[in-house]
Structures are given as structure tokens and as C-alpha cells.
Homo-oligomer: A and B are copies of this chain.
Amino acid sequence: MQLALARKLEHFTRLSADDKAELGRLAGDRVRRVAAREDVIMEGDQPRFINLILEGWACRYKHLEDGRRQIISFFVPGDLCDLNVFILKQMDHSIGTITDVRLAEISRNSFEDAMLRFPRVMQALWWDSLVGAAIQREWTVGLGQRDASERIAHLICELFIRMRSVGLTDGPRCLLPLTQSELADATGLSHVHVNRTLKDLRAEGLIELERRTLTIPDLKALMQRALFNPNYLHLGREGRHLDANAG
């Protein structure tokens, strides 16, 4: 099975066999397993590694003093948490798992080393981090402007497309291992309202969702419902001028 990260990066530019081997090396560096609903790193800790999700789902989140919690982003396989983190002395948010997770801890040294030797990979990783920033912006837009059903539909579109971009969908189906409370924390809604909203979307025939499996019968329709425009994911091989001629 191919590395999810490599697969994702090829939406930006074609990688050579060497490039992929290097990614494999980074990903094998130091593998860690974390059980579901545990913290990978907490607010206040000093970041020591770039975390690369190999398997499972995780999220960034933040608590307000009074306990309210916002999930700030989701991580699916192939996602990297903050290329540059070691510049900061303190995490300003936490990263926690949703499911059981297998992740690679990439040290500063091996990262900087790879950076020098594999410029194309580097470019691709920067692209990925820019896409991450774009996703964060899109969440800002959604929380500010979209109503409940649009927000949830939008999030589902995004996650489905991101899963598809790393080869983890099966036709119109993919895993969606989030509880309704987690969806609520991500969309800024109450879990009760998330429940009702999912019911509506199901009733409209836009999604099916049972036992952690999501089915989207008509992605276009769902995208329309969500006012979803995929441009922010920059999946159009925007770095094709850097392509390796490898196959």
C-alpha cells in the first residue's frame, strides 16, 4: 500500500521513485501508536516533532477557560501537523486522537536533512502546508457565514474529498469515525442540533451515515447544498512544472 502522504502530494506534482523512498524513510523514522481519544500533544507543551498521521483520525482542538471546546481541524492519514513547529516554544493548542492512530514522529534533523536533498518533495510539503492554511480559512468562512446544514454538509464534502485524495474512499463511501459531539465541536453547534441537522440531510437524500460509514449518493448535490467550492484544496496539480518524469 502506498503512503497516503505521497499519494496526496501527487495532486501537486509528480514525485520520483527517490522522492517517494525519502518520504517512506521519513514516515518510518519513529512510529508511535496512540489510542483513541488521547492527546498526542497538549497546549503548553514544547513541540519536538513533526507528526505525520499514518493511520486513523486525529484533530487539533482548543479549550476555553470555561470548558467550551472547539475542534480546529481534522487530521486524516497523510496529514502533517505543522512543518515548522519547532520554531515555537509552546503549543497554543492540543492535538488529540479521534480513533486509534499510528503516526510518525519526524525529528527536526531528519526533516531539515530531507529538505536539502529533495527540493521537489520540499516544495510539495510546502504546498501541503499552504493547503492546510487554506482549509483553516475555509473553516473560518463556514463558521462565520454558513448555517448549520451548510456547515455540516461542507465539512462532509471536505473530509470526503480529502479522504479520496489519499485513496481512502470506496466509490461514494468512506469512513467517517466522528461522533455527533465531535461534529458539534468542529462546527460550533450543539450536539442536539447536529443530530437534527444530520436527520434533515438524510431526509433530503444527500447523505447516508451509519456505523461510522458515510455514503454520498450524489456528491455534486451535496456540494451545491453546502456552497462547496473545492478550489481551496488546490488539487489541480498546480505544481506540474516540477513533475518528475518518473512513473
Contact = CB atoms under 8 A, between A and B. Distances in A.
A68 interface: yes
A88 interface: yes
A142 B66 CA distance: 13
The winner among A89, A138, A140, A227 for most chain B CB atoms within 10 A is A140
A191 interface: no
Nearest to A90: B231
Contacts of A136: 133, 136-137, 140
Using C-beta atoms within 8 Å of the partner chain, give the interface range for chain A: 35 or more
A127 B234 contact: no
Interface string A216-247: 00000000000101011010101100000000
Interface of A: 43, 60, 62, 64-66, 68-70, 72-73, 82, 84-85, 87-90, 92-93, 123, 126-127, 129-130, 133-134, 136-141, 143-146, 185-188, 227, 229, 231-232, 234, 236, 238-239
Nearest to A92: B232
- Give me the 9 closest cross-chain CB pairs, A-B, nearest first: A144-B188, A143-B143, A89-B238, A92-B232, A70-B144, A70-B141, A68-B145, A136-B136, A70-B145
B144 A234 contact: no
B84 A234 contact: no
